[in-house]
Amino acid sequence: MTVSCSEYSGGGKSNVSVVFLVNASAAPTASVRNGNLYIDGSGSGRNFYVTANISSTDQDNWTILVNTSGNSQYTFKKGSGGGGHG
């Protein structure tokens, strides 16, 4: 399973929506644990999208940590990072 950041958009004064492209063999599941986004899935071959809505005081500066069930960790950052939480 691989995860990439497909796109993001500012959802208003304090919200950001981030879309992740997940390549896995079956539909992944997503949850928030300890403030991090976890995406559970395995294999490859099919594309799925997971959307995360975060609150942020600055739509151009945020960081999202994504952990996968295969123990991979991805860090997606916009601008200088910080400011966002799930």
Q: Specify the DSSP class assigned to residue 60.
A: T
Surface-to-core class of residue 48, CB atoms within 10 Å of its CB (0-12 exposed, 13-18 middle, 19+ buried): middle
The reply to whether the predicted model has a pTM over 0.85 is: no
What is the pLDDT at residue 85?
Answer: 39
Query: pLDDT, tens digit, for every residue of 3-62?
Result: 888 767 766 667 778 888 999 999 999 988 887 788 888 899 999 999 888 777 677 777
Specify the 3-state DSSP secondary structure of 41: coil
Q: How far is CA 28 from CA 3, 14, 24, 51, 68, in A?
A: 11, 27, 7, 12, 10
Domain range summary for the chain, segments of one domain joined by + = 2-85
Surface-to-core class of residue 5, CB atoms within 10 Å of its CB (0-12 exposed, 13-18 middle, 19+ buried): middle
